[in-house]
Chains A and B, each alone.
Chain A
């Protein structure tokens, strides 16, 4: 607690914002589905970090409990997401989202 509190809350917020922005930019700019997927995880964890930081700042444990839930759900989500990616790769031999354009007008 002591060491945590030695770092001001602002730093956490900035770090989270940076992580989140990196995630967003990754999702927007990259075409590899796995990288996009990882960037989504990055955004998720930026939020997690923020939640933990505020939890510690307010001295309230609820945020941390919430983060555990998010992590558990995220794990499940990753399992589903990765299996979808594997199926895509099997069918198209690529993970480039540029090729996934069959669903259109």
Chain B
């Protein structure tokens, strides 16, 4: 099976080419079916590879395909690395990717850009697979940029709306900032280790001592890339705007896969990060703060997709918190469970939007649970899972992160629990306002309300099942001894960094207490949301009616966009206005136009010489010849 690894990314690429080039020949349904089949094929292959890996003793394979770049000492191959980490990522990308392709066949059915949409989705899957499969940083970077491109194309998919285009450009530009850090990090790694291939870099790195400046700098630079791609403070502002894209895109790219690329990158480079505790601490702080910060914004959002977007930023913060405290397995575990329940929530939101004929404001919904029962139940499961109520998947991954955070510092634990509280509140607020109470939309919408077609509900059900059971892949030690399958599976990838983890193991009773406290707080928040939104039937007020300083601040997202606008965009605009007026118009243009004008004037004078008088021409000729002769005479 391992020899067929090249087919895994190739199938979606072929799908992209077939669907995009054959757009005008293929029927609408056929292009969707081709695209979905390609991803399904990749999924089946990935499944085979996964069983190969878990069955064999040897846990890491490199499949060399061909030489890509070779200049002097610098050699890069197109080579794929198969190990437990990339096998898990492959399954998530192709599995969730296939479900979302299936869902899109229903969701995008009436869209005129149907084939284009599927070709972009396939392109995205191809680049994402390249990102996780590459065996060197440059190949990862190629995939990294490729998913950025696919994300840009899909956010601006409905390009006739100029604000959607602006959102796409924002995502692209903010990601460029991160990518600059990422590529500088790669340069630094090449300078330090003389190679960018993972195996060489990591074995070389072990020869260096801890906190070597080069490693600290390289890991920080790589993390800047992760900040951009995975929407962490301060580069998270693009992700909420990215909700302009079609909902399946939000589910696939901006929740389940692409935004977790940063988490994958750090998990992949775990040895480098373990060698640099300073960076790890920085990662943990950024992650923890982002988790709380984004969750607090989510509380006052009224757009169903915006709530989920901030929730994604917050959950990504959790993953980085996990990585930062050295719980690499926990980070990947949460990545996996999050991919399931967040894709589920987004697809559920898409189903709600579909039923509401495009309405996204939860204040205009309400009472939907009777009308769209499948969506309601799956959405409920997703909400429970993300809130971390046992035994749903989110509980296990979140608990593992919190336990490790507590081992490193109670401060991180408090951040995590704060984030978790707010997550529970805003998710149940979303659920209650949308599905409970009475319908608040127009008569027309009420008449139109309907459950989504089978192609949309089946992925919802499958994801709901996954969101329920995925947590059992990582049952903590205190419940079932050796119950953490994922940890033992990923052990070969993370064993190199184990020696550097500093946290002290806490006692079992302490772990039980923390777990109980978290669950208790979560349930209390649930009840609070229940009394507020179901018992008292509160409907969130409009933005204009917000009372008090804090709600206002939160509803306006801490004015971060306005802040960036004021401190970065405006000065930049002013600077470019200045350079335009003074350097462009009065400098460059003056010189260029001045040269042109001077030549026009000189030739206007000089052309008088051409009088048409043959005698004068001959005279000029003779004089010139004499002059040439005289010059020659004196030059002798």
Contacts and interface: CB of A to CB of B under 8 A. Distances in A.
Interface of A: 24, 27-28, 31, 36, 97-98, 100-105
Contacts of A103: 610, 612
Interface in B557-613: 607-608, 610-613
Nearest to A104: B612
Contacts of A28: 615, 618-619, 622
A49 B534 CA distance: 123
A6 to B, nearest CB: 32
A105 B608 CA distance: 7
A105 B618 CA distance: 17
Nearest to B615: A97
Interface string B610-630: 111111001100100000000
B610 A104 contact: yes
A105 B610 contact: yes
Interface of B: 607-608, 610-615, 618-619, 622
Nearest to B621: A27
Contacts of A97: 614-615
Nearest to B603: A105
Contacts of B607: 105
A57 B139 CA distance: 84
Contacts of B622: 24, 27-28
B611 A27 contact: no
B615 A31 contact: yes
Nearest to A105: B607
Contacts of A24: 622
The B interface is mostly helix, strand or loop, or mixed, namely: helix
Contacts of B614: 97, 100-101
29 contacts: A24-B622, A27-B618, A27-B622, A28-B615, A28-B618, A28-B619, A28-B622, A31-B615, A36-B618, A97-B614, A97-B615, A98-B613, A98-B615, A100-B612, A100-B614, A101-B611, A101-B612, A101-B613, A101-B614, A102-B612, A103-B610, A103-B612, A104-B610, A104-B611, A104-B612, A105-B607, A105-B608, A105-B610, A105-B611
Given A24-B622, A105-B610, 11 more contacts: A27-B622, A28-B618, A31-B615, A97-B615, A98-B613, A98-B615, A101-B611, A101-B614, A102-B612, A103-B612, A105-B608
Contacts, number: 29
Nearest to A102: B612
Shortest 7 CB-CB contacts between residues of A and residues of B: A104-B612, A101-B612, A105-B607, A97-B614, A105-B610, A103-B612, A104-B610
A36 B614 CA distance: 11
Contacts of A98: 613, 615
Nearest to A27: B618
Most A Cβ at <10 Å: residue of B607, B608, B611, B614: B614
A98 B613 CA distance: 6
B542 to A, nearest CB: 76
A83 to B, nearest CB: 18
A24 B625 CA distance: 12
Most B Cβ at <10 Å: residue of A31, A36, A103, A105: A105
Contacts of A100: 612, 614
B322 to A, nearest CB: 82
B506 to A, nearest CB: 97
Contacts of B619: 28
B630 to A, nearest CB: 15
A33 to B, nearest CB: 9
Contacts of B608: 105
Contacts of A31: 615
A99 to B, nearest CB: 10
Contacts of B610: 103-105
Contacts of B615: 28, 31, 97-98
Nearest to B609: A105
A50 B453 CA distance: 107
Nearest to B614: A97
Contacts of A27: 618, 622
Nearest to A103: B612
A98 B618 CA distance: 12
Nearest to B623: A28
Contacts of A36: 618
Nearest to A36: B618
A30 to B, nearest CB: 9
A28 B622 CA distance: 9
A26 B195 CA distance: 83
Contacts of A105: 607-608, 610-611
Contacts of B612: 100-104
Nearest to B613: A101
A97 B614 CA distance: 6
A24 B622 CA distance: 8
A100 B611 CA distance: 11
B618 to A, nearest CB: 6
A100 B612 CA distance: 7
